[in-house]
Structure 1
């Protein structure tokens, strides 16, 4: 029995999945998704939690994730206006994967640094 053909093939150069992968492979996108895993957060809370992200990049990344259906943006009519971001059901399907990837880097950083030193020493000779 043959498997039905998938409508999308990530290995094809014009497949729209490439755009999604490009956005998901961004470090800021991964960090935002991982932070939202714990529940809704306000814009400034996200910015304080993710050191080094600029207001502009955070805003752009959140907008892209909202467009892709991964997060929701809720505006509360307060003074000043309060904006809160949360994962959608689709976004929640990524939480295990995103968490595993982001925290894999933390757990394996010493091994990566050692491999880089070995490579650089070998390459220098």
Structure 2
């Protein structure tokens, strides 16, 4: 990640850390409460997949906000884990290929696709092309 993007992400995390607490009624209107670390990890992963340009900080943040509005954090962790490891081969990946895992993975990928569409996240040429190093 480039230094300006990293600095911006650190600044955003600091702002989130010192933001005033919201009442339960306000929190319900904003969606489910996700830990800052979970949001940051999602944004970084989203940027890894879609490009480390400045606009993707906002687009990927929008995507996790959209997901958080629809899905409790524990469900997010479960569904995103199943989606991440759905293609894991061998005996170790068998747990991620059962019907329940496939259903959870599909739910998450559908929600994430919707969030990407709403927030304008799209694969960039740099993120889609393999690195020639």
TM > 0.5 fold call: no
Structure that is richer in strand per residue: 1
> Normalising by the residue count of structure 2, what TM-score does the alignment of the two structures yield?
0.28
Q: Which has the higher contact order (CA 8 A, sep 6+)?
A: 2
Structure that is richer in helix per residue: 2
